[in-house]
Amino acid sequence: MFCIFFGKAFYSDFLENVRLVVGVMDFELTPEQKMIVETATEIARDYGPEYWREKDRKHEFPEDFWKSLVEAGFPGIVIPEKYGGSGMGMFEMLLAMETLVSEGCGLAGEWFLCLSAVFGGLSIVKHGNEAQKEKYLPKIAKGMEFCLALTEPDAGTNTLNIKTMAVKQDGEYVVNGQKIFISGADRAKGMLLVTRTTPVDKAPKRTLGLTLFLVDLPNPAIEIIPIEKHGMNYSKTFEVYISDLRVPKENVLGEPEKGWYLLLDTLNPERMSFSAAACGLGLLAIKKAVEYAKERRVFEAPIGAHQAIQFPLAEAKAKIEAARLLNYKAAWLYDRGQECGAEANMAKVAAVEAGTEAVYHAMQTFGGYGYTVEYDVERWWREINLIRLAPVTHQMALAFIGQHVLGLPKSY
Ligand SMILES: Cc1cc2nc3c(=O)[nH]c(=O)nc-3n(C[C@H](O)[C@H](O)[C@H](O)COP(=O)(O)OP(=O)(O)OC[C@H]3O[C@@H](n4cnc5c(N)ncnc54)[C@H](O)[C@@H]3O)c2cc1C
């Protein structure tokens, strides 16, 4: 009909618009996406809170859980089919993470996938050459673990100030430096190592002079020392000392000196992953608090009948649902190769605030029992606290929004 009355050009424009509108506003998941959610739900139910309580208490890596994720193909979600993955994107990865977390795994449901699939998989999908893709991606899809070595003790949040130097010598690089808070460095077989090849004071711009490397682990030039921490005891985090580490030039990821710009393609999905985790933790805590609030009576009515208990949970739920949509938008943009920094940072701020509020009020709902290990909410509280500090601190995410979204002067 449109062809007859309005001509072919108009018809194809019309179809394109329908596609775009439907693409943006269609909230229905595809059969593949539904399958991810169903599989993640089944896995999470196999590894319920008792399992995580024990892993956290014993400081034990969840081997069988990780095996289940690998068997389900989750580390390969973002890896193209050609390299043994399922060729989907960050949106599908968020569905898997959020479901695993909210259905009972807590932060672990996101954490291990972020380390291998985002730090390893996505970084190489985006910027690896063919040889690097062939070498690493099929292994990551089958469960090869990875870590990211970015943070340094003296640079902290001021990432561009890192001092780990890679100096070119006879066709290879020699790296020296120190990193801190490197998660999973004990088990990882690969490390995305962020270095300077030009010191910050000699670089034409602060954002230039960084170079990324893919380093095979373990390596005798890399010493790791565990850091005792507040939560997430089923995964270890390390100080890392690098002394005369020799890396072939073939292991440079992407263009040397431009590492900062390449790294954003890893840091933005890392932010989205942790936003998914914050939303998932909030939903998990709300679900458990609601179950408890329906049963627990101390005066005549169940405690959930009191507005002081009910409203904060309702408010947190509404905020989490809004944060999830913003996070999905960030992933939608990322998967289409579009600029997503604003959405990723705004989603991070919204998700961590909503998730923290949810866990806080869930703990209050449980009263004194919330303070016991048996009710799990204290573990989720320890876990969600991390998301205010990492992967980007709450303040730095706000600074990004202030400067890049609102156009205010740089605040730091
Ligand atoms: C458990 C855990 C796991 C981690 N895993 C990894 C990992 O695998 N790989 C990795 O590379 N890193 C990792 N990190 C590091 C994490 O990303 C950093 O801790 C985080 O980026 C903050 O750096 P910092 O701790 O040095 O804080 P600092 O930079 O010392 O900041 C301290 C505080 O001051 C605030 N602040 C600083 N400057 C400003 C400013 N200009 N304006 C406003 N506020 C400011 C910060 O927001 C923060 O609240 C991990 C951290 C933890 C705790």
Which tens digits make up the pLDDT trace of 119-155? 999 999 999 999 999 999 999 999 999 999 999 999 9
Atom of ligand 1 nearest to the CA of 147: 8
Q: Which atom of ligand 1 is nearest to the CA of 229?
A: 1
SS (H, E, C) 293-328: HHHCECCCCEHHHCHHHHHHHHHHHHHHHHHHHHHH
Q: Which two tokens stand for residue 335?
A: 């998967």
Kindly state the tokens that stand for 217: 């682990």
What pLDDT is recorded for position 12?
A: 43
Distances (CA, A) of 315 to 177, 303, 381, 388: 46, 17, 18, 20
- Which residue has tokens 């409203």? 311
- What token pair was written down for 396? 């730095």
From the number of C-beta atoms within 10 Å of its C-beta (0-12, 13-18, 19+), residue 28 rates as exposed
- Residues 376 and 359: their CA atoms lie apart, in Å, by 11
pLDDT at 24: 56
Residue nearest to atom 42 of ligand 1 (CA): 412
**CA-to-CA distance for 132 and 109, rounded, in angstroms?**
27
| Ranges of each domain in the chain | 15-145, 147-260, 263-405
SS3 content of the chain, % helix, strand, coil (to 5): 60, 15, 25
263-405 has which CATH code?
Answer: 1.20.140.10
Ligand 1 center to 187 CA (angstroms): 23
110/89 Cα distance (integer angstroms): 15
Q: Measured from the CB, is residue 229 less than 6 Å from ligand 1?
A: yes
How far apart, in whole angstroms, are the C-alpha atoms of residue 56 and residue 229? Answer: 11
Tell me, in angstroms, the distance from the centre of ligand 1 to residue 288's CA: 31
Which secondary structure element, helix H or strand E, spans residue 132, and what is its range?
helix 130-141
Cα(391) to centroid(ligand 1), Å? 7
The alpha-helical segments, DSSP class H, found in 168-306 are 259-295
Specify the ligand 1 atom closest to the Cα of 392: 21
The amino acid occupying position 346 is M
List of residues 6+ apart from 369 with CB closer than 8 A: 292, 375
Q: What is the rounded distance in angstroms from the CA atom of residue 111 to the CA atom of residue 367?
A: 29
Using a 10 angstrom Cβ sphere, with 0-12 exposed, 13-18 middle and 19 or more buried, the burial of residue 220 is exposed
Structural tokens at position 357 = 């509020």
Distance 400 CA to ligand 1 centre (A): 15
Index of the ligand 1 atom closest to the CA of residue 227: 1
Q: How far is the CA of 153 from the centre of ligand 1 (A)?
A: 9
Q: How far is the CA of 300 from the centre of ligand 1 (A)?
A: 47
Q: Was domain 147-260 assigned CATH 2.40.110.10?
A: yes
- Whose CA is closest to atom 3 on ligand 1? 181
Q: Is the CB of 12 under 6 A from ligand 1?
A: no
SS3 238: strand
Distance from the alpha carbon of residue 293 to the mean position of ligand 1, in angstroms: 36
Q: Is the CB of 157 under 6 A from ligand 1?
A: yes
399 lines ligand 1 (CB under 6 A): yes
CATH class of 15-145: mainly alpha
| C-alpha 322 – ligand 1 centre gap (Å) | 26
* Intrachain domains 147-260 and 263-405 with the same fold: no
237 lines ligand 1 (CB under 6 A): yes
pLDDT in tens, the chain (412 residues): 333 333 444 444 444 444 444 455 689 999 999 999 999 999 999 998 899 999 999 999 999 999 999 999 999 999 999 999 999 999 999 999 999 999 999 999 999 999 999 999 999 999 999 999 999 999 999 999 999 999 999 999 999 999 999 999 998 999 999 999 999 999 999 999 999 999 999 999 999 999 999 999 999 999 999 999 999 999 999 999 999 999 999 999 999 999 999 999 999 999 999 999 999 999 999 999 999 999 999 999 999 999 999 999 999 999 999 999 999 999 999 999 999 999 999 999 999 999 999 999 999 999 999 999 999 999 999 999 999 999 999 999 999 999 999 999 999 8
Q: 177 CB under 6 A from ligand 1?
A: no
State if residue 183 touches ligand 1 by the CB under 6 angstroms criterion: yes
Q: How far is the CA of 311 from the centre of ligand 1 (A)?
A: 33
Indicate which residue's Cα is closest to atom 18 of ligand 1.
390
The identity of residue 31, as a single letter, is P
Q: Measured from the CB, is residue 410 less than 6 Å from ligand 1?
A: no
